[in-house]
Every structure is written in structure tokens, then in C-alpha cells.
Structure 1
Amino acid sequence: MKIHEYLELDPDDETISCSECSERLCDADQNFKEHSAMRTGPVTDAGPLFQPAKRILGEDPGYEFRQWFCPNCGVMFDHRFALEDDRIVHDIEIDIESA
């Protein structure tokens, strides 16, 4: 069962896998991002138009650009901006009994 463009839920095994290569990432109740390959870099890694707004955020806002990939095939699952000290957001929580 597809839960994201590149993530599959196996309701029988209660696991999340990459839909491109079938790499098993984690149990369904876990945060897939914590079991993915993560790359961090400056916000400009998102593209040349992404410059920190110094007028709004100050001289050193502490933001970074985060990307999560399948550790096996490298397909990108997600990306977002975050403060360097922010925890990894658990944004796909599955109610396995409803699935």
C-alpha cells in the first residue's frame, strides 16, 4: 500500500519500504526518516534562489537544508528546511489497525 510517492506500507509485516527498490526501512510505527540516509547542507543547496533573508532572520539564522534518501537506491524521499538543532519531524504516522 503506497503511503508516499516512494514509500510502501506492508500491513501484514507492519513495515515501511522503499517503493523503488523494496529496501525495508523500518517498522510502521517508526519514523522512516530516522532509518533513511540524511544529507544536510546550507539552504542554498535547495537552489540558487534560496538565500537566507538576513533582514528577517539575522546574520546567522542557523537554518539548513535537509534531504532524506533510500539508503539502498538513493531515491529522495523528502526534503525540508530546519534549524540546525531541530529534531527530525515524524510527519507520517500510520494507524496500522486502520490500514
Structure 2
Amino acid sequence: MVLRNEDGSVIFAAYRYFFHCNDALEAEIHAIMQGMALAIEHSDKPVIVQSDSSNALAVLSGDTLSRSVYGHLDAEIKAHLVVREFVPCKIGSEQNRVAH
């Protein structure tokens, strides 16, 4: 997770291992959720959430209750959306070199 200010300079960066994920989608949703929590702690401005996973970003824009196996993560992300404005932004995997 990389938090940047308006001019693109890095405020801070963090990483974490997820040892018990069922698949890449679960890892991406976890990373988004953790990044949102850190952004709430370290910034008071709206946050653009960039990911190369459109399925993971769909959690941010979905208004309905998720009945998927990741519904508990969906609920935590929805709780973060109440606190701060988060704008989902799909990027290409070539733009996501930090994560790979």
C-alpha cells in the first residue's frame, strides 16, 4: 500500500503478508481494506484507491450486501466508506509495479 499526496509524492508505504488467503481476490480485498484503514489514520482527505483488480474495486462501489465468501471483508470496507470518501480507480497491471 502506498499513500501519496496530491502531487504524487509518497506519504508512507507499507506491506503485509497474508498467509491464509484462498485466492488472489481475497488477498487484494484484504490489501484494499488494510490500506483504507491506514489512510483513515494518516490523512483527512478523500482517497483514490487504485487497483488492477476490477472485482476487488467492485466492493467499493457496490451498494448491496455481499453474500459471497468475502462478505465479512465487504462489510468492513463499507464501514470505512462511512468515515471517508474513497474513490475506486482501475489501473493496468503494468501501472501496479509496486505490488509485483
Task: Give the TM-score category using the shorter length.
Answer: under 0.3
Instruction: Looking at secondary structure, tell me which structure has more strand per residue.
Output: 1
Q: Normalising by structure 1, what TM-score?
A: 0.25
Instruction: Looking at secondary structure, tell me which structure has more helix per residue.
Output: 2
Q: Which has the higher contact order (CA 8 A, sep 6+)?
A: 2
Q: Rg: which structure is higher?
A: 1
